Amino acid sequence: MLRTVAELGFEQTTPIQTGAIPPALLGSDVIGQAHTGSGKTAAFGIPMVERLDPASDILQALVLCPTRELAVQVHDDLARLSAGRLRALAIYGGDSMSRQLDGMRQHPHIVVATPGRLRDHLQRRSISLGGIRIAVLDEADRMLDMGFAPDVEAILRECPKQRQTLLFSATMPDWVRRIAGRHMHEPVTIEVSTRPEIPGEVRQLYIRSSWADKVDTLCRILDQPDVTMALIFVETKRTADLLQVQIERRGYTIGVLHGDLTQKERDDAMRRFVTTHVRSLIATNVAARGLDIDDISHVINYDVPGTPDDYLHRVGRTGRAGRSGVAITLITPAEILKLRDVERHARTHIEEATLDVDFPLQPISNSA
């Protein structure tokens, strides 16, 4: 494991990893309160890989994730951490059931699943959780938000009582606390800052625009030469689809990512974005969970985020891995108070910008 993490470029642990890995290695239940992007996957993945038996053909570990994208990301991270010593399988809705059934016949050691699709497999009796030694709930609060609470409870009841349970959540609503009380044994609680930090290399801007001019304003931003890879956030799936149509009518090529797409459509959108065949991608908050792309130059809030935490999560998609970035929020005149509320609660400053030549929209130089 030490050799593997060195090869993967790990140099030091994050706060959640520092706190969670030692008790998890000892087999203790762990509650980790930490935000997205804090290194939670390695916090549970490293102890998991160390404690599982690669010689066994029994399914030994289960990771529950709220979204397909996060499930795929966690699966890929665990595969890298295990360096081929363990077999992992991702199970999620929208993917071929036959592929997943074929994967189960390969006797995976780890299954990473969304709750709904895992319940389908349990009802089909195509999967057994009787050998689970480690169960992980990743982003438990988001599973509550998405209505998965009953499925999660039912799945945990299918797992052996004598197991290790690791729970990670950015916030601790009552249901998450009840889960800990009902399904965990004397858990060790690790709390790190639950509010994502905005990297110092990210320049935060807002631009005033009327509703009628909003699409044109967005297109003018996309025309900026420094906008090499833009992630555009909207609040609803309907807005995402309408915005894609309006932008494409103006001659731009743009992708879209939201929960109503088929898995093939989502995979195609991500592949085209990551390979830079498409420079811009429209996404909803939920669909963007699990995206792990270092090269996003600009995050654009087409809609003002609903909460300060949503703003911080969105802005955290740029300025990653030491790179610089720009976060731009489009607001109508009536939304300035909403933006000030985000500033106050997120404890950050967002400066006003215009699209004239005196205020170019470009990232802060890395050499600054």
| The predicted structure's pLDDT at residue 339 | 87
**Comparing 164 with 83, which gets the higher pLDDT?**
164
291: nearest Cα among 104, 76, 107, 1: 76
CATH code of 2-191, in short, is: 3.40.50.300
Cα–Cα distance for residue pair 341/325, rounded to 1 Å = 23
Q: Is pLDDT of 19 > 90? A: yes
pLDDT 10s digits, 168-182: 988 888 898 899 899
Cα–Cα distance for residue pair 261/168, rounded to 1 Å = 27
Cα–Cα distance for residue pair 299/313, rounded to 1 Å = 11
| The predicted structure's pLDDT at residue 364 | 44
| The predicted structure's pLDDT at residue 344 | 81
Count of C-beta atoms within a 10 Å radius of residue 358: 6
The mean of the pLDDT values for the chain is: 87
Instruction: Write the CA distances from 27 to 44, 59, 155, 186, 298, integer angstroms.
Output: 11, 18, 21, 11, 42
pLDDT 10s digits, 95-154: 889 999 999 999 999 999 999 999 999 999 999 999 999 999 998 988 887 889 999 999
Instruction: Kindly calculate the radius of gyration of the chain based on its CA atoms and give it in whole angstroms.
Output: 21
CATH class assigned to 202-352: alpha beta
**Largest CA-CA distance found in the chain, in angstroms, rounded:** 65
Q: Is pLDDT of 164 > 90? A: yes
- Coil/strand/helix, residue 301: strand
CATH 3.40.50.300 residue spans of the chain: 2-191, 202-352
Average pLDDT over residues 242-252: 94
Residue 142 near residue 36, CB atoms below 8 Å: no
**Comparing 131 with 341, which gets the higher pLDDT?**
131
This prediction has a pTM of 0.65
Cα–Cα distance for residue pair 356/327, rounded to 1 Å = 17
Instruction: Write the CA distances from 92 to 112, 119, 211, 255, 261, integer angstroms.
Output: 8, 10, 37, 22, 13
Instruction: Point out the least confidently predicted range of 191-195, 236-240, 283-287, 333-337.
Output: 191-195
